[in-house]
Amino acid sequence: MPGKVRRAIRSRYLNVEPRAWIGKNGLSEAVISEINLQLKNEGVIKVEIRKGALISTGMDRKTMAEKVAVLTDSELIDLRGKRFILFKPREGWETYLRRLTRVSQKEGGERKVKPVRKVRLDIAKFRKKFRKGRV
């Protein structure tokens, strides 16, 4: 996924409250099905990992977030502290992503490098100009 889309999703969901929580039961089928349902409806979801989940599963936050992304067939956008954002493209997202990649490729291809102009510096003028202000 392009970095522009990642940044846009991350900034939009930074202050949003989580919609799903992983508790002391860990990655149970109920949690995964709830996250899948939310992803199907919204396309993007913010999930929070509770302290009990870390203790009961013995995994760290990053591996747990990556495992949830694999189990839900989604993409991990951001992981900050105990909260992470998942993105699962819905219908219509593919055309948006294709258009975004075309625009970024077009910008990269049309960039022209201008030749550097040589500037001739007159030292006497330069000294005279900056000597005026001094006493």
Confidence of residue 62 (pLDDT cuts 50, 70, 90): very high
What is the mean pLDDT of the segment spanning 32-55? 91
Q: Is the pTM higher than 0.75? A: no
Most confident of 27-41, 94-108, 116-130: 27-41
Does 79 have pLDDT greater than 60? yes
Average pLDDT score over residue span 51-79: 92
Residue 23 and residue 14: Cα distance in Å, rounded?
Answer: 21
Residue 44 pLDDT exceeds 80: yes
Q: Which sign, positive or negative, has the C-alpha torsion 63, 45, 12, 76?
A: positive
CB neighbours of 18 closer than 8 A, spacing ≥ 6? 46, 47, 48, 83
What residues contact residue 24 under an 8 Å CB cut-off, 6+ apart? 50, 52, 53, 55, 56
Q: If you average pLDDT over residues 84-113, what whole number do you get? A: 68
128 pLDDT tier (thresholds 50, 70, 90): confident
Per-residue pLDDT at 55? 92
CATH of domain 3-87: 3.30.110.60
Residue 95: pLDDT over 80: no
Strands 20-22 and 44-49 come out as parallel
Query: Nearest to residue 62, comparing CAs of 40, 33, 92, 84?
Result: 84
CA-atom Rg of the chain in angstroms = 26
Quick one: average pLDDT of 9-13? 84
